[in-house]
Amino acid sequence: MENKKKQGLFKAAIAVTVVLLLSTGCKKFLNVRPSTTAVNPTTISDFREMLNMDSLALCTFTIADMISDDVRLTDAMVSGQPTVSYTNAWLWAPTIWNPGDADFMYNSAYSRILQMNIILSKIDAAQDSAGQKSIVRAQAQINRAWYYLVLANLYGWDYQAGTATASLAVPLVLSPDANVLPARATVQAVYDQVLQDLLAAVAAPGLPGMGATIVQPGRAAGFGLLATTYLYMGNYQQAETAADSALAIRNTLWNYNTSYFKPSNLLDLSQNPEILLGRLCSDYYFYTLYNGPFYISPSLDSLLGSNDTRFTRNFNSGGDYTTSNGSYQVFNYSVTTPAVLLIKAECMARRGDAADAIGLLNQLRQNRLINYTPLAGNVDALTEVLKERRRELFFHGGSRLFDLKRLNRDSRFAQILQRVADDGVSVVATLAPGSPRYLMPFAPTIVANNPNIVQNAR
């Protein structure tokens, strides 16, 4: 009876979501006015409205970045909020979620996946041309793939061919009508679905190279996500091929010395020429709890240095992350040309083409350093690429955390992370390579609502 009750609630939630998607309370990107009458999307016009909603591009994975080695909390921040999820995550504590906490990362991601599942379940029955349906289907698949790739790497282990068929990731929900409460799928199953969605999308007839807006994905975004997926799988040949396909569509780099401005909203982000698919986080809750932003970690501070515009444009001299208006933090999680370029550079370095890998890094560094000096040809190319990934993709919705997981399996790059007090000496927490505390646990409220979810060990 309890399972039936929960299934009913899930179906009711779907119905409510469909209504909300097309109601006056929904926002659409570029402030296009949404429909106020349709509550059961059936036409291409309905589906395009859903794909153009800004909620698809607004997401929050702040806690994923708290686990990484890019963030510092001061002693006062920790003592002032000793039990909240942000502090617990930063300290790699035995418990992250309090009993009544809602996991906003998990809940919001599945809300977006539900929207895409609604489209994909209804698109074939739409009375529109095959070409129009092909584009809508592909864009829904790319959006769904992005969310599943993040979820799999946040709640599951990094992809390893030998263990992926047994290692658990997240529930794989592909229909808007669930007759059972879904258990966690394996890492392999989620990656297979991500690849299936992306490969179908980039091959879809009519899908443009770039979407009409940064919210609407085109083939460049699909190939960029394919490159990321293959990189995480350790399939460097396929990752490089996909990166080349994305960069063939758009390879623009933005010179931060001349025209960079930090985005405060999606309209700002839309003017960034490096964006292949827009994703933006506006985190008010952290700022409210701690009465300010978090700080750059000493190791990232040292890596960036004062000659790097990625430091000077994003941090104050004291190392605190700058915000758009002093009341919240904004993070750019987008799929970008620099991220794809760095994937290509890593793949080249791994196959021994050090000179060309360094050449790509220098292209990026020219657009990021205040006083540019090219990297010499005698440096270790792979080490330099990984450093540049960290410089470019900090606070990027878990990118650094996901890199730490995969790099910890290589003795050259594995490291023990530490949290150090304000005195710069006292170690308050450590995280060893391969520790289960690299995995995000499921909030108790999620497990209570779906007892088929196996909790991650701590």
Q: Which of 332, 338, 438 is nearest to 66 (CA)?
A: 438
The pLDDT tens digits for 266-289 are 999 999 999 999 999 999 999 999
- pLDDT of 17 > 70? The answer is no
The mean-pLDDT minimum among 70-74, 167-171, 178-182 falls in 178-182
Residue 353 has pLDDT above 50, yes or no: yes
DSSP state of 282: E
**How many domains are contained in the chain?**
1
In a domain, 126, yes or no: yes
70 pLDDT higher than 60: yes
Residue 34 scores a pLDDT above 50:
no
Closest CA to 429 of 418, 414, 416: 418
Segment 54-81 shows an average pLDDT of: 97
Identify the weakest region by mean pLDDT among 13-17, 59-63, 107-111: 13-17
pLDDT tier, 259 (very low <50, low <70, confident <90, very high otherwise): confident
Least reliable range by pLDDT among 50-64, 166-180, 236-250: 166-180
Is residue 154, in this structure, part of any structural domain at all?
A: yes
- What was the pLDDT predicted at 377? 83
Given a contact cutoff of 8 angstroms between Cβ atoms, the answer to whether 261 and 38 are in contact is: no
In a domain, 458, yes or no: no
Which tens digits make up the pLDDT trace of 398-448? 999 999 999 999 999 999 999 999 999 999 999 999 999 999 999 999 999
Residue 61: how many CB atoms within 10 A of its CB? Answer: 26
pLDDT digits (tens, 9 = 90+) for 194-237: 999 999 999 999 999 999 999 999 999 999 999 999 999 999 99
Res. 38: pLDDT tops 50: no
What's the CA gap between 112 and 327, in Å, rounded? 26
Q: What is the mean pLDDT of residues 7-26?
A: 39
Domain that holds residue 315: 2-83+105-449
Residue 323 half-sphere exposure, CB side, CA atoms within 13 Å? 18
Residue 97 lies in a domain: no
Segment 91-101 mean pLDDT: 97
Structure confidence at residue 241 as a pLDDT band (50, 70, 90): very high
Question: Quick one: average pLDDT of 293-319?
Answer: 96
Q: Is the pLDDT of residue 75 over 50?
A: yes
In this predicted structure, what is the pLDDT of residue 323? 81
Taking 90 as the threshold, does the pLDDT of residue 298 lie above it? yes
Confidence of residue 11 (pLDDT cuts 50, 70, 90): very low
> Does residue 56 fall inside a structural domain?
yes
pLDDT for residue 262: 86
pLDDT at residue 40, as a whole number: 80
Q: What is 73-131 written as a DSSP string?
A: --HHHHHHSTTSHHHHHHTT-S--S-TT---HHHHHHHHHHHHHHHHHHHGGGSSS-HH
pLDDT at 179: 61
CATH assignment of the domain containing 278:
1.25.40.390
**Percent share of the chain, pLDDT over 70:** 91
Whether 434 is covered by a domain: the verdict is yes
Average pLDDT of the residues of the chain: 91
| Residue 95 covered by a domain | no
pTM flag (> 0.95): no
What does the pLDDT look like over 369-384, one tens digit per residue? 999 999 988 899 999 9
Predicted local distance difference test score (pLDDT) of residue 33: 33
User: Of the candidates 96, 102, 44, 42, which has an alpha carbon nearest to the alpha carbon of residue 66?
Assistant: 96
Q: Residue 456 pLDDT more than 60?
A: yes
* Mean of pLDDT values over 80-85: 97
Question: What is the phi/psi pair of residue 52, to 5°?
Answer: -100, 5
